[in-house]
Amino acid sequence: MYVCLCVGVTSETVREAVADGAATSKQVAVACGAGTGCGRCKRTVRAIIASQSQPSGPTPLWGKVKQLARRAG
């Protein structure tokens, strides 16, 4: 799916930029050009960045809760 029509950047290209270390919409713009035209795609770019930065496993807090429950139980 195209994210940035001005430059012709797809969501996959934005995901690759994020995987390569881009953590802000400005860094994504430098990496692949998304957001350098009219700017309407910046909200979508930020959403992709947020979705890629979500932890894939259990949160560290949940591990601590389980550890404390074992001690108490």
Q: 60: pLDDT confidence band, cut at 50, 70 and 90? A: low
Kindly state the percentage of the chain with pLDDT values over 90.
71
* 1-32 pLDDT, tens digit each: 999 999 999 999 999 999 999 999 999 999 99
Average pLDDT over residues 37-60: 85
Q: Domain coordinates of the chain in residue numbers?
A: 2-72
CATH topology of domain 2-72: Arc Repressor Mutant, subunit A (1.10.10)
- Written as one string, the DSSP assignment of the chain is -EEETTTTEEHHHHHHHHHTT--SHHHHHHHH-TTSSSSTTHHHHHHHHHHHTS-SS--HHHHHHHHHHHHH-
Q: Are 25 and 46 in contact (CB under 8 A)?
A: yes
pTM of the model: 0.73
Handedness of CA 39, 9, 31, 49 (dihedral sign): positive
